[in-house]
Amino acid sequence: MAALLLLCALVLAGTLLVSGVLKLRDLTGTADGLARLDVLPERLVRPAALALPIAEVLLGVLLLATRGSALVFVALSATVLVAAFTVVVVRLVRREDEVPCACFGSASEEPVSALTVARNAGLLVSALLVAVTAPVSGGVLPVLTGSGPAEVLLGVLGATAVASVALLVGRLHAQGRRIVDLEARLETAEARPASREPVLIPDARVIDATGAEWTLAALSAERAQLVIGVAPGCGACHDLAEIVPQWRHGLGGEVDVILVANTPREQALRVYGAHDAHLYADPTGTVFSALGIAGTPAALLLGTNGKVAAGPALGAEAIVELVTAVIQAIGVNVMTGQAHQAQGPRLIGGEDTGDQYLPAAGFVVPDVRVRHEDGSESQMSHALARLTPDHGDVAVVSWRNGCGYCGEIVEQMRFFSGTGDVVLLVNEPVSTVRDQGIEGPVLQVLDADASGVLGLLGTPSGFPVRDLAMQPGGGVGGGSVLRMLRERAVAHGSLTAEQAASPVFGGAPLPSPGHAHGGHDHAGHDHAGHDHAHATPEHVGRH
């Protein structure tokens, strides 16, 4: 009996303590997890996100420290808490909602399943056994002090074994889901022809917020549609949904952005109700399957010509790239296939879009954590202040090593970076930027998207910053970034007006209209600027 009490109490207390501590370490993630469970009114989510882990930690401590009738009360309280968890999980499993259990805060992203129900049932039994055996055994501390070494060792080893098996099974289950998802993605990729012949929009139907059915072709008959596939329990989907209004604004009236959730309409509205005007449900998964979407988030571009213009883009980063490619497309309408202009001379980096895609005036850059080249970390405000000791402004540009648009202006960026008047924000290690020959200031943004921090739609993009506040003069796309840096270089004396106006710095079109990389090839990322047979910024002396 004593060994049984020890085993159950250690398993239950350990689970509650670990769960509570992990939730307290990430209260924002805990609140997001509770919101996705859809069991509390929105106004109660954040208070519950704090109260729940505190209760778990308190119960875990009391299970180990109390005895007798007090332990019975604590064990019954833990029983009520675990039973409530179990009811929620069972309901989600029955509805087949793929929602992360958030059992250990943001550290547990695997969807609820029968395994989650079984784990909670085991904890429920443990709590009841502690309540039943407590009057006889007294409590954990009396058992530890009154039992022999063999009994204590048996209890500790048993609790450790139970916890280890539960953790291992959970990880294997989550890994199995990832493998299945990866295999599905590979099958989808292999099924698509390498030549990327245009694919007709499938004859599949979605349901809008009012319950009306639409075919995908009908939705895109008058305006191209960027379709983003989402799921209720997909954290990355929720993050992308938050910036969809900004994308819709950036894409103007030429392309609309819609969310298609692989869930019944009622649940889609509960989870993504803020986007009800642009939200559609695919309860049977027919649309996802027809479009080749094997996981979420994913996106495709549907043209007005009845064909899939681009995609599928799988994952948040690929979707951001797709949106950026659409916005920065030069010389061709990728949605209809109709050229806006004939091929001809082209500016390095493409046309200047001005302030069309910039955040509203007064935008303030979030003071996120950044990592310096020496490995030290600081807030963004401290890092920029250190790089601009005169307390003036500095051009801040989001950059990515694998971005084709960044690759097109990399030679120009080497020059401008060398003047010290531009700070690059990246997500990859700083060393990847050094590999491109860029020597100036670079900051690695931690726990956030480098372009998203600036409120922008991709790379390269940026604007001057003073005390984290956006200053006039920035833009989205290589052409806009080069224009900003040219203007600043002339003002600071790094370039003459004549040099800034040359094709070398994107101030005039390239002299050879016969280049094979006209605007319509932009999405291919194969036309890096340093491949052009013309003078390069290295030939320009710095003043």
Give CA separation, 245 vs 240, 424, 457, 474, 539, in Å. Answer: 10, 26, 11, 21, 43
Give me the number of domains the chain comprises.
Answer: 3
Q: Judge if 303 and 437 occupy the same domain.
A: no
Lowest mean pLDDT among 167-181, 190-204, 376-390: 167-181
What is the β-pairing status of strands 255-261 and 307-314?
Answer: unpaired
User: Is 492 part of a structural domain of the chain?
Assistant: yes
- The better pLDDT of the pair 541, 531 is held by 541
What is the β-pairing status of strands 224-230 and 255-261?
Answer: parallel
Q: Judge if 249 and 213 occupy the same domain.
A: yes
Q: Give CA–CA dist 457/252, Å, rounded.
A: 13
pLDDT of residue 330: 34
Tokens 């022809």 sit at which residue? 193
Residues contacting 190, CB < 8 A, separation 6+:
none
Q: Is the pLDDT of residue 3 over 80?
A: no
Q: Judge if 477 and 391 occupy the same domain.
A: yes
Q: Judge if 500 and 375 occupy the same domain.
A: yes
Q: How far apart are the first and last CA of the chain?
A: 85
Contact 345, 402 (CB under 8 A): no
Percent of the chain scoring above 70 in pLDDT = 72
User: Is 259 part of a structural domain of the chain?
Assistant: yes
Structure tokens at 150: 């063999």
Q: Is the pLDDT of residue 485 over 90?
A: yes
Q: Is the pLDDT of residue 58 over 80?
A: yes
- The better pLDDT of the pair 28, 381 is held by 381
Confidence band, pLDDT 50/70/90 cuts, at residue 484: very high
Q: Judge if 324 and 374 occupy the same domain.
A: no
User: Is 446 part of a structural domain of the chain?
Assistant: yes
Confidence band, pLDDT 50/70/90 cuts, at residue 80: very high
Q: What integer is the mean pLDDT of 123-131?
A: 86
Q: Is the pLDDT of residue 114 over 60?
A: yes
Cα R_g (the chain), whole angstroms: 28
Q: Is the pLDDT of residue 48 over 80?
A: yes
Q: Judge if 396 and 440 occupy the same domain.
A: yes
User: Is 11 part of a structural domain of the chain?
Assistant: yes
Q: Judge if 152 and 209 occupy the same domain.
A: no
Confidence band, pLDDT 50/70/90 cuts, at residue 483: very high
User: Is 162 part of a structural domain of the chain?
Assistant: yes
Phi and psi, residue 481, nearest 5°: -65, -45
Contact 404, 386 (CB under 8 A): no
User: Is 353 part of a structural domain of the chain?
Assistant: no
Confidence band, pLDDT 50/70/90 cuts, at residue 180: very low
Mean pLDDT, all residues of the chain = 75
pLDDT of residue 175: 46
State the helix-helix crossing angle for 27-37 and 2-25, rounded to 10 degrees. Answer: 100
Q: Give CA–CA dist 6/12, Å, rounded.
A: 10
Q: Write out pLDDT tens, residues 251-282.
A: 766 788 899 988 888 877 888 888 888 899 88
Q: Judge if 140 and 274 occupy the same domain.
A: no
Question: Facing residues of 423 across strands?
Answer: 396
Q: Give CA–CA dist 458/121, Å, rounded.
A: 46
User: Is 400 part of a structural domain of the chain?
Assistant: yes
Q: Is the pLDDT of residue 126 over 60?
A: yes
Contact 334, 523 (CB under 8 A): yes
- The better pLDDT of the pair 337, 134 is held by 134
Q: What integer is the mean pLDDT of 472-492?
A: 90
pLDDT of residue 96: 62
Q: What DSSP designation does 100 have? A: B
pLDDT of residue 371: 92
Tokens 């203007």 sit at which residue? 487
156-160, 180-184, 336-340, range with greatest mean pLDDT: 156-160
Q: Give CA–CA dist 130/127, Å, rounded.
A: 5
Q: Write out pLDDT tens, residues 214-237.
A: 888 888 888 888 899 888 767 778
The CATH number of the domain holding residue 422 is: 3.40.30.10
Q: What DSSP designation does 359 have? A: P
Give CA separation, 275 vs 202, 249, 261, 268, 327, in Å. Answer: 24, 14, 11, 10, 22
Last residue of a domain, one of 148, 182, 216: 182
Q: What integer is the mean pLDDT of 520-533?
A: 36
Q: Give CA–CA dist 96/112, Å, rounded.
A: 9
Q: Give CA–CA dist 185/172, Å, rounded.
A: 20
Give CA separation, 211 vs 114, 134, 523, in Å. Answer: 31, 55, 37
Q: Give CA–CA dist 11/7, Å, rounded.
A: 6
Q: Count Cα neighbours of 434 within 13 Å in the Cβ-side half-sphere.
A: 9
User: Is 134 part of a structural domain of the chain?
Assistant: yes
Q: Judge if 303 and 224 occupy the same domain.
A: yes
Q: Write out pLDDT tens, residues 186-214.
A: 444 444 443 345 578 888 888 888 888 88
Q: Judge if 306 and 159 occupy the same domain.
A: no
Q: For residue 312, say if its preceding peptide bond is cis, omega within 30 degrees of 0.
A: yes
pLDDT of residue 119: 84
Q: Judge if 178 and 203 occupy the same domain.
A: no
Q: Judge if 138 and 207 occupy the same domain.
A: no
528 conformational bin, left if phi > 0, alpha if psi -120 to 50, beta if neither: beta
Q: Count Cα neighbours of 130 within 13 Å in the Cβ-side half-sphere.
A: 34
pLDDT of residue 172: 43
Q: Which domain holds residue 290?
A: 199-328
Last residue of a domain, one of 182, 211, 231: 182
Q: What integer is the mean pLDDT of 84-99?
A: 77
